[in-house]
A and B are shown apart, each in its own frame.
Chain A
Amino acid sequence: KNEVEQSPQNLTAQEGEFITINCSYSVGISALHWLQQHPGGGIVSLFMLSSGKKKHGRLIATINIQEKHSSLHITASHPRDSAVYICAVRLNTGNQFYFGTGTSLTVIP
């Protein structure tokens, strides 16, 4: 049983398309973290949010605490957005994080 579920597992899009990646969780959390992992393995933090919505460039993250659901949107997708996107939650009972299995995104020129 995984506390964090992501969908879809794999996603292929044409350049310019609007992309949505979903994350659902089953535990009480204090914050949710969206991460990007490049083919070499390095991980970059995109957003940390506990309510509402955050935007950075072409990336938008939203969270609905009541429904235990978060979405990551990419507008005007580009081949350089190709990566694995990982959702992680910080439990409200401590300092641990639980991670989803990731969504592998490929954007085709």
Chain B
Amino acid sequence: DGGITQSPKYLFRKEGQNVTLSCEQNLNHDAMYWYRQDPGQGLRLIYYSQIVNDFQKGDIAEGYSVSREKKESFPLTVTSAQKNPTAFYLCASRPQGASQPQHFGDGTRLSIL
């Protein structure tokens, strides 16, 4: 079945450590997105990519980095510069076209040890 796979489901980070969240899609979608969800707030955009080897910062990119070396993969690294990384992270993808909806993964919950 086609879909978006995020891993791991739960992740723990020590102070000063970088961690990478995986996002893979087999939907052949061009665009991919990373969002952060905090209690009581709407999803906020971290980074998005419309094509391979290209990505743009969203509203809260500081302390995060991404790569898009393959169409199906869009990993997110939470660096030690991100001082408040505890959150629920969602990856999404969508095909080209203004009327096309986003498809979401099941999310990764990141916590600080």
Contact = CB atoms under 8 A, between A and B. Distances in A.
The yes or no verdict on A and B being binding partners is yes
Interface of A: 2, 4, 30-31, 33, 35, 40-45, 48, 50, 86, 88, 90, 95-102
Q: Interface size for chain B: under 10, 10 to 19, 20 to 34, or 35 or more residues? A: 20 to 34
B103 interface: yes
A98 B48 CA distance: 13
B53 interface: no
Contacts of A86: 42-43
A2 B40 CA distance: 12
Given A48-B101, A97-B45, A99-B35, 18 more contacts: A2-B42, A30-B98, A42-B104, A42-B105, A42-B106, A43-B90, A43-B92, A44-B104, A45-B104, A50-B99, A86-B42, A88-B42, A90-B98, A95-B50, A96-B48, A99-B43, A99-B44, A101-B41
Interface in B85-103: 88, 90, 92, 98-103
Nearest to B40: A101
Given A42-B107, A48-B101, A98 B42 contact: yes
A41 B42 contact: no
Nearest to A102: B42
A63 to B, nearest CB: 13
Contacts of A41: 88, 90, 106-107, 109
A48 B107 contact: no
Nearest to B58: A96
B76 interface: no
B42 A96 contact: no
Contact of B101 (A33, A95, A99): A33
B23 interface: no
A89 B83 CA distance: 29
B35 to A, nearest CB: 8
B100 A48 contact: yes
A33 B33 CA distance: 15
23 contacts: A2-B42, A4-B42, A31-B99, A41-B88, A41-B90, A42-B106, A43-B90, A43-B92, A43-B104, A43-B107, A45-B104, A48-B99, A48-B101, A50-B99, A88-B42, A95-B48, A95-B50, A96-B45, A99-B35, A99-B42, A100-B42, A101-B42, A102-B42
